[in-house]
Amino acid sequence: MSPEPSGMNGRQKRIVVVGNGPIGQHFLEQMVEKDQGKRYQLTAFCEEARHAYDRVKMTSFFEHRDPDKLSLCDKSFFTDNGIELLLGEKAVKIDPANKLVNDKVPYDVLVLATGSFPFVPPSPGLKTTVPGVFVYRTIEDMQEIIEYSKTAKRTAVIGGGLLGLEAAKAVYDLNVETHILEVAPYLMPTQLDQQGGLILTNIIEGMGISVHLKAKIKEILTNEAGRFCGVRMAEGDSDEELTIPMDMIVVSCGIRPRDELGRDCGLEIGGRGGVKIDDKCQTSNPDIYAIGEVASHRGKMCYGLWAPGVQQADVLVHNLLAESAADEKAYEGSDLSTKLKLLGVDVASLGASADFWFQRHWYAPSMKKLTHLDEVNGVYKKIVVDKAGTKLMGAILVGDAADYGKLLSLAMKGTLGDKKPSELIGGAAAKKAGAGEDDIEDDDLVCTCNGVTAGMIRLAVREGHHTLEAMKKCNKTGTGCGGCVAIGPVKGIMAKEMKKLGLSATKSICKHFPFSRKELFDIIKIKALTSFHDVLAVAGTGKDGCELCKPAIASILASLWNSHVLAEGRNTLQDTNDRFLANVQRNGTYSVIPRIPGGEVTPDGLAAIAAVAKEYGLYTKITGGQRIDMFGAQIPDLPDIWQKLVEAGFESGHAYAKALRTVKSCVGNTWCRYGVQDSVSTAVRLENRYKGLRSPHKLKSGVSGCVRECAEAQGKDFGLVATEKGYNVYVCGNGGARPAHAKLLAADADEETAIKYLDRFLMYYIYTADPLQRTAPWLENLEGGIEYLKQVVVHDKLGIAQELEDRMQYVVETYECEWRKVVEDPALRKKFVQFANTQDRQKTMGERPMRGQAIPSPWPKETGPFEAKVTKESADSSWQWVEVGKVSEFPSDGGAAVKYGNSQLAVFNFTSRGEWFATQNMCPHKRAFVLSRGLVGEAGDEPKVACPLHKKTFSLQTGESLSGDPYKIAVFDVKIQGDKVLLNLPPPTVIDEELATEKWAVGKNVSVNAHRPGGAKGREVALEPTTGGPLQYWEDKKEPTGMGMLNGTHRATAQLVETFGADGGSCGCGDGAKSDW
């Protein structure tokens, strides 16, 4: 295959590439990079009107609507590298005898990279020429879908595989009711077994997407105008036909290789289509090669993924430039393992070879299987090993794919080594991947998105890449889903490798403070600093902090000095939860959770909670921590609600704080015949002792009255398990995303000794942990682990036991119920208002019924792109200065909302900078009216606000998103006259056209019914609207006249990331498709 020095007429040999998709483009880029001797001249046919773009990230187009953002290169790439790009020209004929394409373009080497086309099943009436029928393939397809969806209410997607789910996500992001039609008995039938597919089905249906399995399409219906209007079909095991009205249908049920050029010129075709290639990517004609989706490897396999095409292109480039046949490489096939993320829930399928899928190893009698099913949490795992149990053949993971990288590495190695199969199903691999960085081998995958191994990270550190940013630039670690950095082992691997080099990894909490949390804790304690700005002046830089350092320092101040969280100067340091002493919910309301120590409550206490919930219309739920949550409280109602609860004897439950939440208990020996200690009394004592204790992260505890462990104390941050002699003391366990079993700190301790050890343990954790670090990972990172902790806490190795005990006793003695203080202090009560300039109220989200209670309407997909049209740059002579409140009504270094017309604005008193700012109050990310409650800070010298819901940040000067999102919020000029705060605003009618609450508030009537042909009886499918009219919007305490519904199910974000799309590869599917409902 190696080329001669010259080609036609003694010139360079000419390679013609037919197709400028991702694989064709990758081939060109590799030739430019590797053909340093310029042995080849390159020509590329590009059928489309634009050059190569990223089909893998096609779904992100619905977020930004900008074709250029999908482009794989600048237009200058071709001219700069002497590549002839035949843009908009389709190759229709190959003449192998004369080596010509389209009878005019000569070649020495021809590379077919024509890709594939969408498969459209031969269902009656299903034609892409029918208005309302679309395929999901090109940018033009996306643009047409977006435009057509503006008048569509319901969409069907044909296909429940990877491509179908990607298309379903796209139309769902357009806020169109979405139905998936899948012919198989479950979703993703190629990658998953039936149980895994059904678990995935439940997840998707829980998001508000209807899934129709075993769907048999009888006919595609059109109306009198010839437009698509519905589907006649049967589903399940029934032959009874349904007529489902629809407005749009997207076909995304597979692809077929575009092999017509090869067929027409006589190339050998694979058994299932595609141009047959050998291990050198050579076709039956020695001068013609094929790569990507058009290539049928050995005539047996066309890969519909991006990664195999890249591997084929790399092999072909290498061989074209090889000096001899002995230097050439062979392409022997590709891994089909895939991973997708759906609303934060992982789904993965991995195998040691393609046989895992094609021979369905998960069902094969010759294989052994280990299965884990957790229907409560929606987790399913199946591990498949060979008959001897020594080789991992593959795995299916739904709901928890934390072990994906480790399992994939084991499958590729071909042996389990000294590992037992049972260790893989229970998360041992995940634990190794997340905690024991020393145990991760160099060839273990760490960043599965980009194929980065632990060894590559260690090598990069040794080469001088010592920060995450440097690592990302070096080998793309963490640039995909980011999980390997956020909760994976990347940071630990880097830190330990740097330690070997005698370097220390930076642990500064943010750019404003070059110190770790522990170092700041010591500075604040030793220098007795009592305010954020004192700390900033002594240990930081800049005029103000940010959303990272403010809460961290506020937590330290609270842990040390225990002053009220709403004290002047501290009330705007913490997130909105602490500012309003309640957990903010997705509709901008708050939860009310009174403390119920040990889970013990009287009937009168229950009656008081019930009365409050009923009076204020709150949704109620009993938690796993043995207390009662009440949801949906409006800010102005919070003090009144808590006054009733305080009068009934309740205290703050601190569910809003990084503090002690609950101490769970069983009934112990007071009632249980197995109990050996009074676990309830001990739990009540512990909860009353540690209530209000602020810490780096939340704390949970439990006390069990016997070894039956009904209170699950060994899964808590600290817990006691009763023995005949006293209690076993356990620490550093937790549930959540990375469950950890607690470690035994002391055995058979009496109650007083147990509490003494817990005092020391908790304070030592508070002294030394990183921000937002729970006790389990803190212990994992503690040098010496549990044995060292025993030396410090039990044996006082550091000589600080008395200090730790004294510090805890100070916290206990200075405790006050934060809500009682608010209830009794008129000045604090005044802080609980929705608007600074009026007593009016606005609800910002509709409601829908759920089992006898009301819950918020489903969240829409992110709005993006969003750019406010009414902003200070658009001011004209109609704008006037409008008073919106007094200076005293806006907190220092914080914000408050004001109502203007029917719009909500946020006004910020940035005292540290001596400046005022105003923006819209709605964060466009989730259409939540909460920006005024966000933390203000600085990004360099840029003043910013962080949305309290998801930490999206915006410039207070320009409104630009600082988080990289396609949003730009409205900003307005502010001036102060005496004690008056004035904004420069247009007339209310003008601003309402752009920002009125009723325009953006979430809640839409889409409750629907079905029609069956001929009046047939049977199950009804929710489709037709039963109520009309606009979104219901109300003020004060008026009840809504309609409730936003979507088939009675939560319509949350269907986020598909890390999934192989049409061409494979990692798909960073963006959020933010615009909806104009």
Lowest mean pLDDT among 287-301, 362-376, 920-934, 972-986: 362-376
Read off the pLDDT of each residue in 1053-1057 and give the average, rounded to a whole number.
25
Does 433 have pLDDT greater than 90? no
pLDDT at 1017: 30
Cα(201)–Cα(206) distance, rounded to whole angstroms? 8
Q: In 3-state terms, what secondary structure has residue 137?
A: coil
Per-residue pLDDT band for 712 (boundaries 50, 70, 90) equals very high
Round to whole Å and give the CA distance between 905 and 985.
Answer: 11
pLDDT of 1060 over the 50 cut: no
The structure tokens listed for 1064 are 């494979």
pLDDT, position 426 = 60
pLDDT, tens only, 662-695: 999 999 999 999 999 999 999 999 999 999 999 9
Position 1072 confidence tier, pLDDT thresholds 50, 70, 90: very low
- Quote the pLDDT of residue 1051: 27
What is the mean pLDDT of the segment spanning 350-377? 86
Q: How far is 129 from 144, CA to CA, in rounded Å? A: 13
Give the pLDDT score at 573: 77
pLDDT at 450: 64
Q: Where are the domains of the chain?
A: 13-115+258-321, 118-254, 338-427, 590-632+647-766+775-832, 859-999
Q: Do residues 1051 and 207 make contact, with C-beta atoms less than 8 angstroms apart? A: yes
> In CATH terms, are 13-115+258-321 and 118-254 the same topology?
yes
Higher pLDDT, 339 or 613: 613
pLDDT above 90 (res 932): yes
CA distance 717 to 761: 10
The answer on pLDDT for 1057 being more than 70 is: no
Peptide bond preceding 286 in cis form (omega within 30 of 0): no
Q: How far apart are the first and last CA of the chain?
A: 59
Q: Torsion-angle region of residue 82: left (phi > 0), alpha (psi -120 to 50) or beta? A: left
The CATH code of domain 338-427 reads 3.30.390.30
Judged by average pLDDT, the poorest of 217-221, 266-270, 449-453, 1071-1075 is 1071-1075
How large is the average pLDDT for residues 650-667?
93
The model's confidence at residue 930, banded by pLDDT at 50, 70 and 90, is very high
Q: Which of 927, 908, 941 is nearest to 998 (CA)?
A: 927
CB–CB of 163/1061 below 8 Å? yes
Q: How far apart are CA 471 and CA 477, in angstroms?
A: 6
Weakest-pLDDT range from 307-316, 395-404, 610-619, 1053-1062: 1053-1062
pLDDT of residue 486: 54
For residue 1055, what pLDDT is reported? 25
Q: Which residue has the tokens 């800070």?
A: 937
The one-character DSSP state at 859 is P
- The confidence score (pLDDT) of residue 278 equals 96
Question: What is the CA 527 to chain-centroid distance, rounded?
Answer: 40
Q: What percent of the chain has pLDDT over 70?
A: 87
CATH number for domain 13-115+258-321, candidates 3.30.465.10, 3.50.50.60, 3.40.50.720, 3.20.20.70: 3.50.50.60
pLDDT > 60? residue 363: yes
User: What pLDDT digit, counting tens, does each position of 88-139 carry?
Assistant: 999 999 999 999 999 999 999 999 999 999 999 999 999 999 999 999 888 8
**pLDDT top residue among 274 and 543:** 274
Most confident of 467-476, 726-735, 1048-1057: 726-735
Residue 390 has pLDDT above 60, yes or no: yes
Encode pLDDT of 560-591 as tens digits. 888 888 877 677 777 778 888 999 998 899 99
Residue 1013 has pLDDT above 50, yes or no: no
Tokens encoding 313: 């292109």
The CATH number of 590-632+647-766+775-832 is which of 3.50.50.60, 3.30.465.10, 3.30.413.10, 1.10.3720.10? 3.30.413.10
Determine contact, residues 585/724, Cβ cutoff 8 Å: no
Output b/e per residue, 674-703; b: 16+ Cβ within 10 A. Answer: ebbbbbbbbbbbbbbbbbbbbbbbbbbbbb
Mean pLDDT of 230-237: 94
> What is the rounded average pLDDT of the residues 1053-1075?
28
Residues 72 and 51: their CA atoms lie apart, in Å, by 8
Neighbours of 221 (CB within 10 A): 19
Lowest mean pLDDT among 72-86, 160-174, 665-679, 783-797: 160-174
Name the token pair of 199: 């678990």
Query: Do residues 178 and 157 make contact, with C-beta atoms less than 8 angstroms apart?
Result: yes
Task: List, as one string, the DSSP characters of 67-112.
Answer: GGGGBSS-THHHHHTT-EEEET-----EETTTTEETTTEE-SEEEE
State the pLDDT confidence band at 412, using cuts at 50, 70 and 90. confident
- What pLDDT was estimated at residue 439? 62
Which pLDDT belongs to residue 250? 96
* Average pLDDT taken over every residue of the chain: 84
Residues in CB range of 1070: below 8 A, 6 or more apart: 57, 59, 60, 62, 63, 64, 864
* pLDDT score at 512: 86
Minimal CA–CA distance to 969: which of 951, 986, 953? 953
Task: Give the range among 207-221, 428-442, 474-488, 735-749 with minimum mean pLDDT.
Answer: 428-442
One-letter amino acid at 769 equals A
The position carrying tokens 């009144």 is: 640
Residue 899 · residue 838 · CB < 8 Å: yes
Predicted confidence (pLDDT) at residue 496 exceeds the cutoff of 80: yes
DSSP letter (8 states) at residue 701: E
pLDDT of residue 164: 87
CATH topology classification for 859-999: Rieske Iron-sulfur Protein (2.102.10)
Please report which confidence band the pLDDT of residue 383 belongs to, taking 50, 70 and 90 as the band edges. very high
Judged by DSSP in three states, 576 sits in: helix
Mean of the pLDDT values across residues 178-200? 91
Q: What is the pLDDT of residue 721?
A: 96
At residue 905, φ and ψ (nearest 5 deg) are: -120, 155
Average confidence (pLDDT) over 864-891? 92
**Where in 253-367 does DSSP place strands (E)?**
255-257, 275-277, 288-290, 295-297, 301-302, 338-342, 345-351
Length of the chain, in residues: 1077
Residue 1003 has pLDDT above 80, yes or no: no
Label residue 482 by pLDDT band (50, 70, 90). low
3-state SS string over 583-621? CECCCCCEEECECCHHHCCCHHHHHHHHHHHHHHCCEEE
* Residue tagged 């309402």 (tokens): 992
Segment 699-709, tens digit of pLDDT: 999 999 998 99
With bands split at pLDDT 50, 70 and 90, how would you rate the model's confidence at 353?
Answer: confident
More confident residue, 306 or 977: 977
Express the helix, strand and coil content of the chain in percent, nearest 5 each: 30, 25, 45
71 pLDDT band (50/70/90 cuts)?
Answer: confident
H helix or E strand, kind and range, residue 885? strand 880-886
Task: Provide the CA 412 distance to its chain's centre, in angstroms.
Answer: 28
Structure confidence by residue, pLDDT tens digits, 539-553: 888 888 887 888 888
Q: Lowest mean pLDDT: which of 8-22, 323-337, 785-799, 957-971?
A: 8-22
pLDDT-derived band at 905 (thresholds 50, 70, 90) equals very high
pLDDT at 429: 39
CB atoms within 10 A of CB 237: 8
pLDDT score of 737 more than 70:
no
Structure tokens at 488: 């994976």
Fold annotation for 118-254? FAD/NAD(P)-binding domain (3.50.50)
Two tokens, residue 829:
């009560």
pLDDT value at position 1036?
31
Q: Which helix (H) or strand (E) holds 45?
A: strand 40-46
pLDDT band at 736; cut points 50, 70, 90: low
CB 34 within 8 A of CB 40: no
pLDDT band at 424 (very low <50, low <70, confident <90, very high): confident
Distinct helix (H) and strand (E) counts, the chain: 31, 55
